[in-house]
Amino acid sequence: MPEELDQDLLSIQEARNLAQQAEVAQEAFVHFNQYQVDVVCASMAEAAYEAAERLGRMAAEETHMGVAEHKTIKNQFASKNVWMSIKDVRTEGVIRRDEANKIIEIAWPFGVIAAMVPTTNPTSTAIFNAITAVKARNAIIILPHPSAPKCTAEAVRILEEAAEAAGAPKGLISCMTHISMEGTSELLKRPEIKLIVATGGEAMVSYAHSVGKPALGVGPGNVPLYVDRSADIEKAAHDIVTSVNFDHAVICAHENAIIADKPIADQLVKALERNGAYFLSDEQADKLGKAMIRSNGLMQANFVGRSPQVLAEQAGFKVPDEARILVARLSEVGPKVPLSREKLAPVVAFFVEDGWHAGCARCIEILEFGGKGHTMGLHCTDEDIIMQFGLQKPAFRIIVNAGTTGGAIGYTTGLMPSLTLATGGMGGGISSDNITVYHLFNVKRIAYGLRPFEPPIVDGRRSSSVSAPAASATSEKPSTSEIEAMVRKVIREELAHKG
C-alpha cells in the first residue's frame, strides 16, 4: 500500500461505505419501538450534555471562532433543551387517530439523512442533527466543515458510542473524516441518502439544493431590529449587546442592524454604551467594512466570530478592552455599504428613523438586501405596531422584546429549540420553521370511506361523465339559461336517485 493515498479517493470510498452501513443500520432500527428509540436518544443527549464543556473548548480551539464558554452553552442547548422539546413526540407506529374523519396516522422515517454542519457551530449542530434524526428513526451521516473536522468528529463519536451502548445498530450514526468536495458530492448523490439537512453558508446550502434530493436548508440572517419609542430602552440595550456578543455573533440570528425610533435614539445610544457597545467613527467603520467584507459580499474568514478587539486590530485601529460589540452608524443599505450586509461577527449597523412606518420600511429594505425569510426583532410595547410588523415583514421569526439570538433558536422564546432556522419560500427553502423532529419523518394515513362515490345518472343510465348539451344553433357556447337548466336537471336526477 502506498504511503500516501489520494484524499479525494479516500473521501469517495468513505462516503460509499458509510452510506451502505447507514442503510443497513436504519433498516434494522426502523423496527425499534418507541421506548427503544427514546432510550437511545436519551442516552445520546445525556452523553453530549456531559461532554458539552470539552467539546466547546475543542470547537473554539480548532476554529478560532467564538467563545468556548458560549459554545458550551450551545452544546448544552443542542442536547438537553432540544431533547426535552421532542422527547414526548411519537415517531413510531400510530401517532394520531382522527375519529371524526376516520383517519389513522402512522409515522414513517425518511431513511438515511446527510447533514452538513457549519464551522460556526461545529459541535452543537452535529448534536442537534443527530438527536432529531435518530428520534425520527433515521440513520444520519454528519458532514463536517473542512475547518472543523476534529471537534465535529469527536462530537459524533460520543453520540455514536452512547447510541450503540443503548442498543442502536452500528452505523446508525457516523461522520465523514476524509473531507473533500468529491467525497461530499459522492455522499449526497448516493441512492441511500433520502434527505439532506444543510446548515451553513449560502454556497453550501445552494449546493445541497442543487443535488436533486429533498433538502432542508437555511439562509443568510441579516437580522434587523426596530426599537420603538414605546420600548423599555434599558432592557432593549441589554438584550441587544448580550445577543450580539454571544459566541462573537456566529449564530446567524443575531441582530445585524438596529433601527432606532428618532425620539429615543440618543437615549438608546447611551444605554448601549453602558452595556459595552463601542460606536465606531465614520473612518473606523469604513476601514472595518473594507477589511471584513469581500467585493462579492462574503466575509473574510479570519473576521468570522472574532472579538471586537481582534476585528479592530485586523482593520487597522484599536478599541477599548471593555468593548463587547462594535456599532457603525449608517444611513444607506446596499452593495456600496459593506456593513449593511450580514456580519457573523459582533458588529451592528445603526440607523435612525422617525416613526414606526419609516422603521418598518428600513427593516424591509435590510431583509430584502440579504436575510429574506429569516428573522427580525423589535422592542416595543404597542401591540398594534407589533402586529403590523408581523404582518408586513418578509421574515418568518418576529422576536419581540428579547435578543434575537436566543429568541430565534427557541432558547428564550416558545419557538421549537433548533439550530437550523429555515427561511421558507421567500428565502429559497421548502419550510419556514425551526427545523426539528417533525420535519424528519413522513406520515402514512389510513383513511376509511365516509360517503358513497357514484357517477351521476343521466337519461336513466349510470355514466362515468356528464355529456355536454348540444351546442346552441345560434352560438358555439351554451347560453347562461341552458347551463342553468342543465345544472337543475342533474340535481333533480341526483335527488331522485337518492330518494
**Cα dist. 23→17, 98, 110, 137, 191 in Å?**
10, 33, 11, 12, 10
Residues near 231 by beta carbon (within 8 Å), at least 6 away in sequence? 261, 264, 379, 380, 381, 401
Is the distance from CB of 218 to CB of 117 less than 8 angstroms? Answer: no
Q: Which residues contact 463 (CB under 8 A, 6 or more apart)?
A: 455, 456, 457
**Closest Cα to residue 252, out of 224, 221, 225, 218?**
221
Q: What's the CA gap between 335 and 242, in Å, rounded?
A: 28
Q: Return the closest-CA partner of residue 130 out of 142, 118, 119.
A: 142
- Report DSSP letters for 24-61, one per residue: HHHHHHTT--HHHHHHHHHHHHHHHHHTHHHHHHHHHH
Instruction: Give the integer Cα–Cα distance in Å for 359 and 397.
Output: 17
Task: Compute CA 73 distance to the chain's CA centroid, rounded to the nearest angstrom.
Answer: 19
3 state SS of 116: strand
Tell me the C-alpha distance between 176 and 498, whole Å: 65
Whole-angstrom distance, CA of residue 330 vs CA of residue 348: 10
Q: Is 258 within 8 Å of 404 (Cβ atoms)?
A: no
Query: How many other CB atoms are found less than 10 A from the CB of residue 120?
Result: 28
Query: Cα separation of 338 and 222, whole Å?
Result: 12
Active-site annotation holder among 41, 151, 175, 252: 252
Type and span of the H or E element at 282: helix 282-292
Is there a contact between 329 and 279 (Cβ–Cβ < 8 Å)? yes
Q: How far apart are CA 150 and CA 163, in angstroms?
A: 20
Which single residue is written with the C-alpha cell 465523514?
A: 176
User: Which residue reads 453530549 in cell numbers?
Assistant: 48
Residue 420 grid cell: 437550523
Of 360, 142, 386, nearest to 259 by C-alpha is: 360
CA distance 272 to 332: 21
The answer to whether residue 175 is catalytic is no
Q: Please report, as a single letter, which amino acid is at residue 496.
A: A
Of the candidates 375, 90, 380, which has an alpha carbon nearest to the alpha carbon of residue 230? 380
| Active site members | 252
